[in-house]
Chains A and B, each alone.
Chain A
Amino acid sequence: MIIANSVSKKFGRLKALRDVSVTCNRGECIALIGPNGSGKTTLIKSMLGMVVPDSGFITFNGKNILHDWAYREFIGYMPQIGRYPENMTIGQVLSMMKDIRKKNSSRALDEELVHAFGLPALMDKRMRTLSGGTTQKVSACLAFLFDPDVLILDEPTAGLDPVSSLLLKEKITREKQRGKLVLITSHILSDLDDLITQVIYMQDGSLLFHKSLEHLRRDTGEEKLSGAIASVMMKK
Chain B
Amino acid sequence: MNKIIKYVVTDILRNKIVLAYTAFLLAISLSVFNLEDNASKGLLSLLNIILFIVPLVCIIFSTIYIYNSAEFIELLVSQPLQRKKIWISLFSGLATSLLVAFLAGAGIPILIYAPNATGLTMVAMGCLLSIIFVSVAMLAAVTTRDKAKGIGVSVLLWLYFSLLFDGLVLFVLFQFQEYPMEKAMLVLSGFNPIDLGRILILLKMDVSALMGYTGAVFKDVFGTTSGFALALLVMVLWVVFPAWLSVRKFSKKDL
Q: A167 on the interface (CB 8 Å rule)?
A: no
The residues of B that contact A100 with a CB separation of less than 8 Å are 3-4, 76, 79, 81
Nearest Cβ in chain A — how far from B232, in angstroms? Answer: 34
Which interface residue of A73, A79, A83 has the most chain B CB atoms within 10 A?
A83
Question: Is A70 within 8 A of B80, CB to CB?
Answer: yes
Q: A208 on the interface (CB 8 Å rule)?
A: no
A83 and chain B: residue at smallest CB distance: B71
- With A83-B71, A87-B11 in contact, is A72–B80 under 8 Å at CB? yes
Main secondary structure of the interface of B (DSSP, over half): helix
Question: Is A83 within 8 A of B255, CB to CB?
Answer: no
Q: A51 on the interface (CB 8 Å rule)?
A: yes
Bound form: Cα–Cα A11–B253 in Å: 12
What's the interface size class on A, roughly? 20 to 34
Question: Is A45 within 8 A of B255, CB to CB?
Answer: yes
Question: Is A85 within 8 A of B78, CB to CB?
Answer: no
A49 and chain B: residue at smallest CB distance: B77
Q: B72 on the interface (CB 8 Å rule)?
A: yes
Q: A50 on the interface (CB 8 Å rule)?
A: yes
Chain A 91-104, CB-CB to B under 8 Å as 1, else 0, gives: 00000110111000
Question: Is B254 within 8 A of A50, CB to CB?
Answer: yes
Question: Is B11 within 8 A of A83, CB to CB?
Answer: no
Question: Is B81 within 8 A of A69, CB to CB?
Answer: yes
Q: B31 on the interface (CB 8 Å rule)?
A: no
Nearest Cβ in chain B — how far from A62, in angstroms? Answer: 18
Question: Is B78 within 8 A of A72, CB to CB?
Answer: yes
Chain A 71-83, CB-CB to B under 8 Å as 1, else 0, gives: 1110101010001
Q: B241 on the interface (CB 8 Å rule)?
A: no
Q: A228 on the interface (CB 8 Å rule)?
A: no
A46 and chain B: residue at smallest CB distance: B254
Which interface residue of B72, B77, B80 has the most chain A CB atoms within 10 A?
B80
Say which residue of A73, A83, A87 sits within 8 Å of B75 (CB atoms).
Answer: A83
Say which residue of B11, B72, B80, B252 sits within 8 Å of A73 (CB atoms).
Answer: B80
Question: Is A69 within 8 A of B83, CB to CB?
Answer: yes
The residues of A that contact B171 with a CB separation of less than 8 Å are none
The residues of B that contact A199 with a CB separation of less than 8 Å are none
Bound form: Cα–Cα A81–B2 in Å: 28
The residues of A that contact B74 with a CB separation of less than 8 Å are 50, 79, 83
Which interface residue of B3, B76, B254 has the most chain A CB atoms within 10 A?
B254
Chain B 75-91, CB-CB to A under 8 Å as 1, else 0, gives: 11111111100000000
Bound form: Cα–Cα A115–B42 in Å: 61
Q: B230 on the interface (CB 8 Å rule)?
A: no
Q: A84 on the interface (CB 8 Å rule)?
A: yes
Nearest Cβ in chain A — how far from B56, in angstroms? Answer: 25
Question: Is A83 within 8 A of B70, CB to CB?
Answer: yes
Question: Is A84 within 8 A of B71, CB to CB?
Answer: yes
Tell me the A119-176 residues at the B interface (CB within 8 Å): none
A73 and chain B: residue at smallest CB distance: B80
Tell me the A13-55 residues at the B interface (CB within 8 Å): 45, 48-52
Q: A193 on the interface (CB 8 Å rule)?
A: no
- With A50-B78, A72-B78, A96-B7 in contact, is A85–B69 under 8 Å at CB? yes
Question: Is A48 within 8 A of B75, CB to CB?
Answer: no
Bound form: Cα–Cα A100–B82 in Å: 12
Q: A219 on the interface (CB 8 Å rule)?
A: no
Bound form: Cα–Cα A76–B255 in Å: 17
Q: A86 on the interface (CB 8 Å rule)?
A: yes
Question: Is B254 within 8 A of A51, CB to CB?
Answer: yes
Which interface residue of B3, B4, B75 has the most chain A CB atoms within 10 A?
B75
- With A85-B72, A96-B7 in contact, is A101–B80 under 8 Å at CB? yes
Nearest Cβ in chain B — how far from A150, in angstroms? Answer: 12
Bound form: Cα–Cα A75–B77 in Å: 12
A-B contact pairs, 24 of them (CB 8 A): A48-B77, A50-B74, A50-B78, A50-B254, A51-B254, A51-B255, A52-B254, A69-B80, A69-B81, A69-B82, A69-B83, A70-B80, A72-B79, A72-B80, A73-B80, A79-B78, A83-B71, A84-B71, A84-B75, A85-B75, A100-B3, A100-B4, A100-B81, A101-B80
Binding site for B on A (CB under 8 A): 11, 45, 48-52, 69-73, 75, 77, 79, 83-87, 96-97, 99-101
List 8 tightest A-B contacts by C-beta distance, closest first: A83-B71, A73-B80, A72-B80, A85-B72, A51-B254, A50-B255, A69-B82, A77-B78
